[in-house]
Structure 1
Amino acid sequence: MVVVGGGLIGLCAAYALMREGHRVTIIERDHLGAGAATGNAGELTPQQVAPLASPHTARDVLAGVFSSSSYLSIAPLRLPQLAGFGMGFLLSSTHRRRAHATRALAQFSAAIFPALDRMTDDGIDTSGGGSGYLMTCTDERELVAAHTRYHARASERWGEAPGAILRGEDLRSFEPTLAPGIEAGFLLPAERYLDPVTFVASLARRITQQGADVRTGLTATRLAAGASVVCRDEAGRESTISGDRVIVAAGAWTSPLLRRSGIRATRIVSGKGYSYTVPVERMPRHLVHSIDRHCVVIPMNDRLRVVGMMEFDERPDAFHPARLQVLTKAAGGLIAGADWDRRTEEWVGARPMTADGMPVLGSPAGRPEILVAAGHNMHGLSLGPVTGELLAALIGGRSPQVAGSPLDLGPFALDR
């Protein structure tokens, strides 16, 4: 089996395939574990696996073009290239289409924790985190609406019900590190988080130790006839790597590869996220997620990670320090006692975004030897282990199932 992409989804695919006895070759242009996973919030969140597109975020798109202080930033030079994606995003932002995508993604929810637990039982390191998300919002109506929404999801067996809304001193007693001005919030008790750096490194180490043929420094340039991948090394030399099947898990770089190979598929674009760590006087007891500030702070071992932003620009790997200032302004109003001038581990990563918020899972028409698994948006860590098991089942000739229930792959088709 040839896996194109050594990021989180590619590693999860390789791990699941090797568990079933397949020999695996991984093609990666950088190093194993590169990509959007290691700098993210480490969230494992059945309750929040939902598309970004919504009536609210559709309004934020305009602000992202004209304001440098918005959490959602769109470089004006990218507007022509993003026109098709943007139109798809706006069409997907209606209540009806968002509900359709949310129901499709909900199929995975019951399998997120069991898939990760199987990895933990197998010795993959999933430490460095905890459980429970404290959801906050300074807009009372928006907070109550979110609380109602999570209750509705729990009633459909999509995670556990949220705790009661806490206000004033009750909230301060529950989470003393909140900044002044944060006056209401509620707990999602069952959601988990982990240290993604530790997790991805452990997964990469296991795959390497078990004999995967890891080819780093190679860029996949196109998919050739059969299960073959044409690659170019850093010196410009071309080579071809072949196998029984090819799994394309190239994240934000998937669409250019498919296009060069003559394969039509839903477009995947880079929506960059930023993160860094800071020292704090007192560590929060839980992951704290601000609904209106669009940022998350996460206690990871002995450090506090700050995560946020959604940036669309011309280069998926370009780091723009000004975006960290926007993130710091948002997070500074969320947590007290952090030394915001002592940022370390500054990071940018290209999230693979689709307009409708759903990943691309399946084979191109007439190319059953190719399986594409990409476009997991902001949910790669939650959906990665499940995706790996799903790919192994499909390659093994088994009907796709999630947590014992049949999985409808129709909404995730390549050419939807």
Structure 2
Amino acid sequence: MSKKVIVIGGGVIGLCSAYYLQKEGCQVTIVDQSNLDAGASYVNAGYLSPSHIIPLSAPGVMKKGLKWMFNSSSPLYIKPRLEQDFLKWVWAFNKSCSPTNVAKAIPAIKSMTLLSQELYEDIRRNENFSFHYENKGLLILCQTEKVLEEELKTAEIAKAEGLDAKAISLETLKHIEPNVKMNIKGATYYECDSHSTPHEFMEDMKAHLAAVGVQFYKNEKVQDLEVSKGKVISISTDKQVLNADEFVLAAGSWSYLLSKKLGLNLLLQAGKGYRINTTQSTGITVPAILAEAKIAVTPMNGFTRFAGTMEIAGINHTINKVRVEAIADAASQYYPEITLNSEEKDNAASGLRPVSPDGLPYIGKSSKCENLTIATGHAMMGWSMATATGKLISEIIADKTTSIPVTHFNPDRRF
């Protein structure tokens, strides 16, 4: 297949799409409005998490969101806005917070994350990439009996799905993490999970793509798409006009702005997450989720990352100090011997994650445009699903049978 393909977006989803499209023999160009060195693909927790089988839109989440709306340090903060797109998204999100949605999402999320894990390992081996990648599992640390009970139920669901999940005693936890003091009531452990250092994978992938002839246009904003008879003919950036046979929309939280130009009803909101890195010796060797605080902790290559929070407040890059402080406070509450210092907090960074209303990504073609393939809406699962998404995008464009079913990811689905 020798098609000319333009990938709009150079985050992890865009790079993985370009990787597999190039393998299919396509001539690939990546266009991104940034310098390809910041954003959600660089500040995430680096998890490859089959454990995260429950979607963001689960029963009770909207109720919590409403309760937290007036607390800007809460784990999920939805800033009220009188914007039509936002209100449509809130309506659809609320409707999706149901047991039916969870039951539909679990097998779809599981198949995506397991495939992705396998593909990350394949890429590392086949391309001799050196990015940090480890299979050490994931701990869920709970400070209250109520949340521990909830997490035990989730672990049972995961176990029933064939994932390696279990409750562990505090004694067992000491053997897994002997060098760190924890202030918790109990924990669950997912041995099925892996973790990585995101910027290392991104650097390896960018270098590889450049070496195999993928063209990069950095710091170029796509401003318009020329459409004729249900096909994209070209895209206009602030610098040039580019033509191709096929187009991939992988622009993260910005995707819905471009999709509107095509008349697509792509419900999407930007969910801002934050990270604090520390080079202090924390003693942490296994990734963990601080359950009540919804903070992810990852021992990366040379540093430990504390990341989290979901702030639905539109597209902006403002660092909310209250939310940074909430992450630092949670670190000390769960790990009493760890204190993140002011310099580390001052160096906090944020990234915008594209959030769909039902917690599932948009992957595939819309009936409104035959040569545009959409790859966005992964929320907090972008890193966990990136390689599988890239593979699926290449299979869709090559008109092949997809590695896993993509029905639940249909961009035209209704909420």
Do Structure 1 and Structure 2 share a fold, with TM-score over 0.5?
yes
Which of residues 220, 226, 243 is equivalent to 2:222? 220
Once the two structures are overlaid, the 10-residue window that deviates more, 171-180 or 371-380, is 171-180
In the alignment, does 2:155 pair up with 1:150? yes
Matched residue SS, 2:192: strand
The one-letter code matched in structure 1 to 2:137 is G
Q: Structure 1 residues 391 and 311, CA, compared in 2 at 3 Å: closer, same or farther? A: same
- Amino acid in structure 2 at the alignment position of 1:298: T
| C-alpha distance 5-216 of structure 1, shift in aligned 2 (>3 A) | same
| Structure 2: gaps (5+ residues) | none
Partner of 1:24: 28
- Deviation readout 1:183-212 (Å, 9 max, x if unpaired): 311221120000001011111111112111
* Aligned 8 A contact 1:78 1:312 in 2: no
Q: Once the 2 structures are TM-superposed, how far is the Cα of residue 33 of structure 1 from its aligned partner?
A: 5.0
Residue of structure 2 in register with 1:185 after alignment: 187
Tell me the distance in 2 between the aligned counterparts of 1:117 and 1:334.
Answer: 32
In structure 2, the residue matched to 1:132 is 137
Distance 1:334 1:177, change over 3 A: farther
Matching residue of 1:258: 259
- 1:230 matched to 2:235? The reply is yes
CA distance in 1, matches of 2:110, 2:372: 26
User: What letter corresponds to residue 144 of structure 2 in structure 1?
Assistant: D
Q: Secondary structure of the equivalent of 2:299? A: strand
Bigger drift between 266-275 and 363-372 goes to: 363-372
- Which structure 2 residues correspond to residues 7-406 of structure 1 after superposition, within 5 A? 7-77=11-81, 82-121=86-125, 122-127=127-132, 129-157=134-162, 159-160=163-164, 162-167=165-170, 169-176=171-178, 178-179=180-181, 181-225=183-227, 226-233=231-238, 237=239, 239-259=240-260, 261-341=261-341, 342-343=343-344, 345-402=347-404
CA contact (8 A) 2:130 2:204 kept: yes
CA contact (8 A) 2:109 2:360 kept: yes
Secondary structure of 2:65 counterpart: helix
Separation of aligned partners in 1, 2:413 and 2:191: 38
User: Contact 2:53 / 2:105 at 8 angstroms: preserved in 1?
Assistant: no
Are the equivalent residues in 2 in contact too, given 1:274–1:309 (CA < 8 A)?
Answer: yes
Q: Assess if the C-alpha contact under 8 Å between 1:130 and 1:194 holds in 2.
A: no
CA 1:73–1:118: 2 relative to 1, 3 Å: same
Q: TM-score, normalised by structure 2?
A: 0.91
- Corresponding residue SS for 2:348: strand
**Cα RMSD (Å):** 2.1
| Percent of pairs with identical residues | 24
C-alpha separation between the residues in 2 aligned to 1:413 and 1:205?
A: 31
Contact preservation (8 Å) 2:11, 2:251? yes
Report the 3-state secondary structure (helix = DSSP H, G, I; strand = E; otherwise coil) of the residue aligned with 1:25.
strand
One-letter amino acid matched to 1:136: L
Residue identity in the other structure for 2:109: L
**Conserved 8 A contact 1:284-1:299:** yes
Give, as a single letter, the amino acid of the residue that structure 2 aligns with 1:379: M
Distance 1:2 1:165 in 2: 48
Per-residue displacement from partner, 1:206-254 (whole Å, max 9, x unpaired)?
A: 1112111111121112221244343332xxx5x3211110011000000
Shift, 1:141, TM fit: 3.9
- SS of residue in 1 equivalent to 2:69: helix
Segments of structure 1 that go 5 or more residues without pairing to the other structure are: none
Indicate the larger mover: 53-62 or 355-364.
Answer: 53-62
- Cα shift at 1:393: 1.1
**1:261-312 Cα distance to aligned partner (Å, 9 max, x none):** 2332331110000001124344212011122111011111221100011112
Alpha-carbon offset, residue 156 of structure 1: 2.5
2:225 aligned counterpart, secondary structure: strand
Report if the CA contact (8 A) 2:42-2:199 is conserved: yes
| Shift in alpha-carbon separation, 1:218–1:317, aligned structure 2, 3 A | same
Aligned-partner Cα distance in 2 for 1:89–1:163 = 30
The secondary structure found in structure 1 opposite 2:201 is helix
